[in-house]
Every structure is written in C-alpha cells, then in structure tokens.
Structure 1
Amino acid sequence: MTPTNIRIEWSPSPGAVRYLISRNGAPDIPIEANAGFLQGNRFIYTDVGRKPATLHTYSVAAQFPAPTPPGRSVPVQVLTPSALPPQNFKATVSGPNAVTLSWTGRPESTSYRIIRNGGNLPATVLNASGGASHVDQNLPPGQYLYMIYSVIRLANGEELLGEFSNPVTLQVRPFNIVAVGDSVMWGQGLSDASKFTRKVANWLGAVLGKPVNLQSVAHSGAVTYPVPGEQATENSILPGEVPSHYPSISNQATTLAPMKVSPSDVDLVLVDGCINNLDIKTILNPFGSDDELRNNTRGYCSAGMQNVLTDVGRVFPNAKVAVTGYFPIASRQSNLAFMVPLWVTVGAITAGVIPPDPVLGGIATLAYRERSAERSDLFFQESTSSLQSAVNAMNSMPTPLGGNRFRYASLPFGPENAYASPNTWLWLIPTRGVTEDEAFNSRSRDCQTYQSSDLLCYGASMGHPNVAGAQAYTDAIKSLLTPFLSEWRTAHVGPVTAPEDSLVVRVQPGPIELVGGTMIVTASDGPSGPPLQGAVQLNGVPAGALGAQVRYAFQQNNPTDILAKVEVQGRRPRSFTIPVRTQSIAVNL
C-alpha cells in the first residue's frame, strides 16, 4: 500500500464468473474472473489514485451464474499512509546567487512544490517538475529557509498537496575576507589587480564558485599598537599609499574592519605587522647593535603580534587567520649603485660617512652592504620564528579565541630576490619616467595633498614587494589555505540536508474484550528520547491522548488489525497497523 494505491487480494470462489469490489459505497468495480487478475491462487487488484491519510472500506462480492445468488465478503477498512514529503531534501549554494535543491522523489507524486522564505524577500512557492532537483536563482544575499512537499493527482482529477518536509536553512552570502596590516599587506606601489590580497580573493572566488568580498583596511606605515609618547591619531585616515603609523593594526582589526562587514560573517583574515615598530632604517643601519635588533624583533613580532592576533581572534571568531611575514631587504647580491641611495633616503647612513676617495669609498660601501645584508637576514630569521611562535601560541588556545585556525605563510625569498639583486622582488626607489611603480602617479598626488614635504612619501614603494614579489606572497598564501578549501566548500556551498522527522512509537495493549480492548500508545524522538505529547486515532476515530489508556472496538465484531494514527503537535502524522493480538510493539516511523 502506498499513499494513493491500495492492493486488494482475495481467494477465488468456486464457480464465480465475476467479482464486484465495493469501495466506500461507490459504484462497484467489476472484475471478470478470467480477466488476468488471478496470480497463483489469489486475485490481486490495485485501486489507484486514492486519497492519502484516509480510511477506506472495501468488500468483494462474487457473482455466479443464475440462479446462484452473489456472496459478499465482510468489509475491511484500510487507512492509507500520509502523503509524505520527498526524502533526502538538500540545499546547495551552486552559484553567485543561486541555490540548487535536490531530493529523492516518491512514486505517487506527480510534481513538487517548494516554499522559500528569507533574504528579505516575500515567502514564495516554487513549482518544481516531477524530477529530483530545482535551481533557485537571482537570490540577494541573506539566510533562506526551504521546505518541500509533494503534489499528487487523484483518480478523480483532484490535486492533493502532501505534507511539508522539515526545513533546510542556509546562508547565501559572499565569502568575506578582511585584510589588516602595514604597507606590505596594503600592497605598496601596486595596482589593485597586482596586490596579493586581490589575487588571493580572485583565486578563492574561482575555486569556491561564489563571490568574494575583500575589505582591506591595511595602511602603509601602520604599527601594531600606538607608540608610547607618540600622539595616536587613530581616527585620522590617510590614503593607503601615504605612510602613517595610524590607524594602528589593532585599531584596523577592532574598529575599522567591523564597520565594513559583520565580524561573525568573516571567513578569512589576512594580517601582518611588526616591521614598522622597528622601521627599515634600523634594519639596514650598518652601525646598529645586532643584539638590540634581535631583542626588539622578538618583542614586537612575537609577544606584540600575539596581542594583535588575540584581538583578531576575539573580533572574528569564525575566521581562519593567515599571518604573512617579511623578507631579507638587502643581501650580498644587492647592487651597490642602488644601495647607497636607499641608505641615504631611509636615513640608515648619511652621505658623509662614505669616503670621497673612490677606493676607500668602494671599500666602505662593500662593508656597509655586508652589514646591511647580515642585519636584513637577522631580521628575516628572527621575525619568521617570532611570528610562527605567535601563531603557535594562538592555536594552543581554546575556541573561540584560538582553536587551531591560525596559519603562518612561509615566504620563499632568497638573496637573489632582495633589493636591487639580479632577480629582485622589491621595488627600487621610484624615479618619474624611469622606474615608476604602478601607484606612483596617484601616490604622488596624495603625497602632495597630505605630506608634500616628506620625500619618503613619494618614494614609499622602495623595498616593498613588486609584481613578482606580490605573486610570491600569493603563491605562499594559496598553499597555506588549500587545506581549508573542503571545509569552506561545505560551509558555504553545501549541501545542507533537512533533518529527517522520525519517531519511535510503542504500543502496550491491555486485555482483549469481546468487542474491543484497550492500549497505551506512546511516541518519542528516537529510542531514548523523552515522551511526546499528542493524540491517537484508532480505526479512524479519535481515541485519546498519547500516553493515556485508549479504547478500541472491533469492526463489526471482527477482531482484525487496528488502523492507528499518531498526531504529535508540530510534526507530520504517522499511520501504521497494530496486529490486534500482539503483546507489545515498537515501530520506527
């Protein structure tokens, strides 16, 4: 038996030439004795197109040649099951603004209808064909709830709507990235298309198959926290290419970024920091103390950055966090002709410390380059280990602050990629019309507007990753994030499956009487769930409450099986058959 089809069987009556099936008092259905319905020693007829969740009464009359009168069977009542929703109802984000809904169909259904609610749209009924999927398109970002039900066409042409499935809910929104940090994270001197933050966003959009929203509040010159004794101007926001200690990286994470996107909806945070607490002048200074550089690097890049990451973890509890590091600025392969202008421009040395004598000057610059290379490598090694240490410390913390969601991007910079080296990945000092970076013209205008007297503003790109360097950052971050892709696909693409609405129904019958008996029917969520409240129908008649003693009567004093129906508030009804002589039963429905 299905919700719409009832199989009727009876044994042949010797001598009968025809059988008449009576259903609910309607005109008899004639069945010729030789019409092919006899299978073995039983006649079998399927009555199709019946109404689900309905009590039907059948009897069969045998007709004989005259003068033998017909004989009719005792009526039998059958309760058809409810028209249940399709199974395995799933929703999957399948495009920038699309959701694909899929299910396992039911044979009695002719088509399906889906209710969609959410996304600031009015509740809508979507007509689906008799297939097993439907694509809901042109959806604005938001949370959506879907339910599906069957459409059944009865034998009389009436269209009947089945029961609703449990809802499935999913979020249609872009993948959100926040970038906080200093000039390296900002992409000093690069066009937007060349920045590694944009390249990573484009890559994630392609592999996840959905829009990516990148919000970069990183800023050239930013320090991790306000510098003691320095007037912090956190609310004074200059163009990103114009160097300024403020807004600090902590302020970017805790104040500016949450103004751009809801922190709970952020999926990935890209963050760097600590070099501006030291500054490039200190790193390249050939006369500086290595111990002081080592200790300061450890302080700012380990404990200091752990504080920044703590802010990031607290504000963005659902995001993965990728921490990017730095690179050796100078190396022994750096061209001396370009190193002298760099030293002088950043203030690492003054022009007067280089002897005017060509021989002595050459010897001095070689020595200065050696020391700058040593100190650059010292900073690179110490900052790398310190940032990794900060990441490790965050991963050891429990969720939601930590929870093993922080990663450090190891960068493949070598001596040949340092400033003015043969395969440099860093911008040289920009010169109009000669060695301009991609943002030189726009930065020059901004520098004139905000810091017209500061030559470091016009040349701010020097020593920062160029297009090739930005690509190296991109590749390192992609490698770092690849293990998270499957998780992100599941979280943002699906599928999300509607929970199955299942009950365990138990029956404990009492003594059978001459005309009926008593029983107690209970229902629970699973075998060990608490008892549920609801009502019981027996043989189509309301019999009482779940958990209470209910009475039943035999049909025409005939002890046949009992047709039961359980109704729990907020759940779809359950129909099943109770063998009248059972001791006790438990049914998974």
Structure 2
Amino acid sequence: MKLWRSRWWRAALLPALVGATAVSGPMAQADANSDYPLIIDVSTPADGQCAGTKGAEHTGLHGTTAVYIPPGVPAHSDVEWRILGGGQPIRSGIAPVNSDVVTVGFDIPQDELPADGRLRVDARSRIPGGAVSGYGKPWNLRVSRDCRPLHVVSVGDSVTWGQGLDLDRKFGDLTTETLGAQTGRVTRLHDYSVSGAALDAPGLHADNAHCPAANAGGGELPDVFCQLEEAGGEARDRGYQVDLVLLDGCINDLDPIFGIPVGLTPGSQDLTAAVRRECGGAGAEPVNPAANVPYFSSSKLGYGGRGMQDAIEKAHALPGSPKVLVSNYFYGDAAPGTPQGVQQRWSEFVRTSAEAFRTAADRANTAAGETFAVAADGLFGQDGGAAGNDSKLWMNPLGDEEISLRLLACPPHSDQAPQCGKAVAGHADVEGARQYAKTFLLNPRVREWFGGGGPLGDGFTVSRTAGPSGSTVDFDATPAGGAIRQYEWYFGDGAHLTTNGPATSHAYADSGPNLPRLVVTDMTGRRSMYELNEPIVIG
C-alpha cells in the first residue's frame, strides 16, 4: 500500500536530505520519488570487517544504516530494516520512527556473510494498527568475507599494461577487481607491466647488468624477466605471498610497426618462425636482425632466447608459488577492406601466438608435475563480440580507426621514453577490457584455483582434429550436461556461433592451429567454459 503522496517535501526537504547524505553516501542511492523508506547510507569501517585485524582473525562486520522516513508516515510508526545476503535475510530489526532519519546499528558474524560478499539493505514502515508498506529502494554493498589479501602481480608489455585505458581500468585492475568480487576477498594488485617492454631483452642482463625499475622513466625499459625480478624482491621485502601472476609478452616483440604484423621488421618475414622464436625461445639469432630498425620497436630489444615457458616458471618461483595466467588478448580478424595478405598474417599471428602460450603453459606444468599455469583467451570473434558482448576488438588497430600510430606519437629521436610515458592509443574500450577480465576468469582452472567450482573435464567432443582444407568438424556438447539453455561456440579461427542445442558443425578453411572453446549458460544463468585439449589443424 502507498502510505503518502509527495506534496511539499520535494521542495522543502530535498536540500536538507542532500546535505545529510553528502558526507555519508551518494545521493544516487536515494530516490526522491519513492513512497517508501529509503536507505540513504550504510557506514562500515574503511576495510569492512577486516579493520584492525590480522590475517583471518576477525569477528565480523559492524556498522550502521541510516533510513530516511518520508513525511507521509504517521507518528508512532516503526521502521523495519533488513540485510540480505544471497537473497536471504541475515539481519533485521525494528526501530521507532522518531525523526526524519533513523539510524540503527548491526553486527554480522564472519561465518554469516555470503561467499561473494554482496549485501543488500532495505526497509519498510510498520503503521499502528498493523498496516505494512512495501520495501523501499535498497542499498547494495560488497564486503570481503576473507580478510587475507589476495595478491596479484601483473607483468608484461602494453597489452597487459592496457594501452589507451585509464590507470584504474587496466586489465590488471579489472581482472583483480573481478577476482575479488568472485572470491569475496580483499585484493592487492602489484603492477610492473610497461608499455614497450620485451619478453627478454638480453642487453639488460649482460654482465649481470642491473634491471631498470618499471617506474624508473627514461628510455630503458625492463623486460618481463626484470619485472618478475622486481616483483619477487618487493614481495620478499614486504613479507607477502603472491597468489596469482598475470603474464603477457613476446607477441609485441615480433613486428610491431604500426601495431600490425605485416612482415616489415627484419626477422619477422616468416611469422610462424618468429612466434616460435620470441614466444618459445627457439632459434634466437646471436645478432639481432632488428637492432638497427629506424623506428621504435620492441623487437630491437628482444630476441633473447628465453621464451614464455621460462617466464612462466620464473613467475611460479615468486614467494607463495603463485598460479600463473598467461593472457592472450589478441583475437578476431582484421577489419573489412584490409588487404587479403595482411588479413592472413593477422589471423596466423593470433592463432600461432595463442598456441605458443598454451604449449608453454602445458610444458611448464609437465616439468613441475603440477598444474599451476594456464593460457587464457579473450574469446573475441571476428564479429567483434567478446563472449557474447558487442565490444570492439581491443588492441587490434585494423579494427579500430581511432588508434594513434605509435610511430607518430613517439618520435624515434625524442628524449621521451619510447612509450612517451602515457597511452598513445586514442580509443579506450573499457567495456571490452572488462569483458576480457571476466572471460579470463571463466577459465576452468582459474575457477578451480580460486573457488569458482570448475568445471573440469570434457564439455564437448569433436569428430576430428585434422583433415584437408575445407573439412567440416562436428561438435557435440552433450558431456556439458542437460540443464543448458545456451551454447556459445568459439571455433578457434575467429568464427563464433550461438546455439540452443548441444550439437553443431563448422567448416575450417585455414590451417590453424584452431583451439575451440565453448561457453555454456545453465538454467540459473551460471556460465561455464570448456576448451578442447588440443588444437584442430587443417591442411
């Protein structure tokens, strides 16, 4: 039932309400058109239930909630408030209405907080005589259920660093933020990635030369191995254990002129061989053929010979023996109208580098006798959709005309650092970056490590993994279970298809390697990802 009709209060009380909430909560949380009590603030310690505690020693969440009472509520009424977690009330109470704003306190023991840390607070009026209003607009908040910080280290080049994205919207930040939301834990990001860094720049390590720090400035850039060295030193000095390393590198060391692997940089004409050299550490030449190129290029710093497997193993050797997520942000196809030869090279570049990452992670796991590393993919298809989203292909200059050319933004003979100390890309696709972060964390191994519940095992089968060009491969997702309402197929060649049934087929024209992945959505809306354990190679 509606208890009152708005009359003079909007003009008379709104300024006072704004003043009352200015220091305690955003006005956006209150709705001046509501007929019901409004939660206008929920105050907790700055660190939630972790304030003043050490490790996991804490007693729970303590705080207050302020409820605005509209003028139409009669005198001698009560306000009934509640706090919900997982859709169920975990705290509630009744307080007398004695002013426009009623403030009540609450205590929630740690073991009663929901696993995801998400809480919802709302209230309603109880009128003398038994009448009860509806619940007003809620206040949503998230607290950390586990007070042990989840430490994430991010290393790599401009791709990991987030070329063109605001500082708090980098991939490391978004991935760490998303991981914290999924685990209900406090998160700490330690970002050492640098735009323009190579995977392995041997000049930095010759004669035990000191690695430059990531934030040192100037023209000397730390490579990924230097970044990992700095990350390990700081973790030991500050006494924390690293839980996860976000790792990238090598794919920008191949032929980054204009950001397009067109084969102009010496040593990059054979793209597959270049990927194996830079990402796999195989066949590095004693004299770098790109050392004297007339434009800034990570490839003139690279060609070190230590590949991604060595970097993965060095990451796992950080304090805490962290898990390692090797992130391949490149996917999809070139923009319409791009010359056919460049399109083919781009496609080869994407798939070959993804396979190099997967192979490096598998070999590192085999050598260690445990599964601590995984190669993740953003699931961007050539239709521009990221796991079902409409975001643009990120870091693909062929698909985004707003990208500024590095060559023009960073003059090769200037005194500035090669990356100019700032992002030189003109278009910041934050939503695309956020979709990458969410998709990386769909990886079944990552979900197993951090409490997401898998899934592990085979979610689908294929009729063949090899064949001549044009071969059709049949896919069957029956192993994923029966309570599935949607199947999103990513065939590994840039093609993407959504089906309502578990069976489909796809014809492969390019040789590959093509690693298919499947994202299923069950009847509750939960999304899970599966991938084939080996790529499909055609031709």
Per the normalisation by structure 2, the TM-score is 0.44
Q: Higher relative contact order by CA 8 Å / sep ≥ 6: 1 or 2?
A: 1
* Structure with bigger gyration radius: 1
TM-score between the two structures when normalised by the length of structure 1: 0.41
Structure having the higher strand fraction is 1
